[in-house]
A and B are shown apart, each in its own frame.
Chain A
């Protein structure tokens, strides 16, 4: 499933994400490698998304324990001479990046995330609506890969919707790669209008 846009996560940063497997921390090392781990430090439960990236490791903000991309604890600052036991590790998940979108592999899967040859990421927005309501509001088509195609501001767009545990959706908008700045701005405001429609439809449905 799509979880973020590559541009949301520059080198040496970490962000929190809600996923079907629970709260996760998505981070990019200084050299640009992307990893995802559970958002919970095995030491004393601090959220790792509040931590910091140094070099190729993610460190917890509470006591500074640091973790490699495969989740192993590399260093315990309180005991600098101790080699952390291999048993200390944080759960990880598989992520990959294509065309400016970050994908989380939900299960052991061989399949590659979809590639969109004519579209590039524009922006991400949170919708207080489920993907089905968004599809209706867009009046678009859903593909087997989970993406939605439709038109906004008269231009062809692709929406990638990541349902959140609280019933809302994170929507990543892809615009035609050759769109001009003006067209991109138009799609951007049309997306906000789409959000209002999808959220109102939901409210009307709830009231009925």
Chain B
């Protein structure tokens, strides 16, 4: 399978804090790669046959590409604001298309059923109208004015609140979520999903967060997010077809799925098809 236009994008391949001189092995789009820290303190990534790959460190992770990225790694300016705690959640391996993993992250309608009593609960299942656009200048998908009732929106939230969200897709396998910050009204918590495509049907998901929360122990923050992703995994490994259909084909989107529809359209426009189902099945 060809990697298509996605070959020239940046992908997370590990936590920067975990890379040392001893190095570590992983995979990117079907190719074995090796990460290690150089004596100078930088990170080097190379393929099995010794080809050096481009490297950038950002948002807690090491990023690389099998091709030649034409733009820098996307920025998350909010994450740089002082006073935030950066949470390295680690990795969750999921037997699904990397694109399916992102699409699930963009979805709120599943909260009451998959994250029951945490991110959602019946009878609060309604998804109100929200706005979705493809921002041409930034070349990103954005969903704004997303609102949803949540019994326990974050580790620092006690009791139910209606939470505001914004979703952003700055790269084909990455999404940034901005969410009402219970501890500091007026600010947004930043929760990201960085997906490493191992193959078209297997991925490593690296959630990362930049939160205003000085109270909750780090391990609790990590466990909370890991629990959420394990719940998502039970869904992602049981969808048919495994790859993300870029045309609706046999699937039926509704108004609540507008972010997913825009994401698929944006992927298609750019020929971002690694992990996509091109022929309706």
Contact = CB atoms under 8 A, between A and B. Distances in A.
Nearest to B125: A77
Given A43-B251, A45-B241, A64-B122, 4 more contacts: A42-B250, A61-B235, A63-B107, A78-B109
Interface residues of B, number: 25
B122 A77 contact: yes
Q: Is the interface of A mostly helix, strand, loop or mixed?
A: loop
A45 B239 contact: yes
B142 to A, nearest CB: 20
Contact of A44 (B112, B125, B126, B251): B251
A79 B252 contact: no
B74 interface: no
B256 A79 contact: yes
9 contacts: A46-B240, A61-B113, A62-B113, A63-B110, A77-B109, A77-B112, A78-B125, A79-B126, A88-B252
A123 interface: no
Interface residues of A, number: 22
Nearest to A89: B252
Contact of A79 (B113, B238, B251, B255): B255
B254 interface: yes
A50 B240 CA distance: 13
Contact of B240 (A47, A64, A78, A79): A47
A24 B121 CA distance: 28
Interface of B: 107, 109-110, 112-114, 122-123, 125-127, 234-235, 238-241, 250-257
A64 B251 contact: no
B117 to A, nearest CB: 14
A63 B109 contact: yes
A42 B251 contact: yes
Interface string A49-81: 010000000001111100000000000111110
Contacts of B122: 64, 77
Nearest to B113: A64
A50 B239 contact: no
A45 to B, nearest CB: 4
Nearest to A76: B254
Nearest to A47: B238
A37 to B, nearest CB: 13
